[in-house]
Amino acid sequence: DSVILRDRGSSDRVDVLFHLTEGPRARVEAVRFEGTGPIPEAELREALVLREGNPFDVPREDLSRAAVGNRYLEKGYVAARIRDSLEIEESRVRIVYRVDAGPRAVLRGVRVDGTSATKPGFVTREVTLKQGDVLARSKLLRSQQRIYDSGFYSDVQLDRGPIDSVTFETDLIVGVRERKMGWIDAGIGYGTVDQVRLTGQVGQR
């Protein structure tokens, strides 16, 4: 409501006082889903972070929307769109999720971008999905981690191509940034026993 500055006399410091009026706490009165399609509403409600009866909180609402989206991604609906809207009446909030699931995508093939010192096969061998598999989120994340763990790449990005409107097939596009394959390190130090010490290291991935 107001801010007051209180001088401390001869000091170059002041006290700042904020006078607040909290007002009523807004709570989630209801959560509604529209167009859930292939996933039962009960399963989506289990994923919610912000539920009916909870105090309304914007960051938790963002997490809830992302959690609903992840349920569709896990089942291969990689083009799913989740939109949320709020209906606010005094201190009561109603949340509506509108879902457009889209097609369930399956893998046609893997395309690798960004390799020069390494072969594309170094990447594709770490992909846990096979041709015809549903593009499940957990398998995509596992594949990405396996590619990182190979030690050859400093960055791994996953994308997909267009989804065929008849077969629902799509390509997985893996973009990588290679690490330096060889390196040389040198150092110099001093110790009370060894006096001057020189160190060197040569490595090749």
Q: Is the pLDDT of residue 43 over 80?
A: yes
How many CB atoms lie under 10 A from the CB of residue 90? 7
Computed over its alpha carbons, how large is the radius of gyration of the chain? 27
Cα angle for residues 137, 143, 149 (degrees, 5° grid): 140
Going by DSSP bridges, is the β-strand pair 153-160/27-34 parallel, antiparallel, or unpaired? unpaired
Q: Under a CB-based contact definition with an 8 Å cutoff, are residues 108 and 131 in contact?
A: yes
Which whole-number Å values give the CA distances from 31 to 54, 56, 60, 199, in the listed order? 11, 12, 14, 64
Pick 202 or 154 by higher pLDDT.
Answer: 154
The DSSP result for 101-146, as a single string, is: -----EEEEEEEES-SSS-HHHHHTT----TT-B--HHHHHHHHHH
Q: Is the pLDDT of residue 29 over 80?
A: yes
Q: Is the pLDDT of residue 192 over 80?
A: no
9 DSSP assignment: T
Q: What is the pLDDT of residues 124-170, one digit of tens each?
A: 999 999 999 999 999 999 999 999 999 999 999 999 999 999 999 99
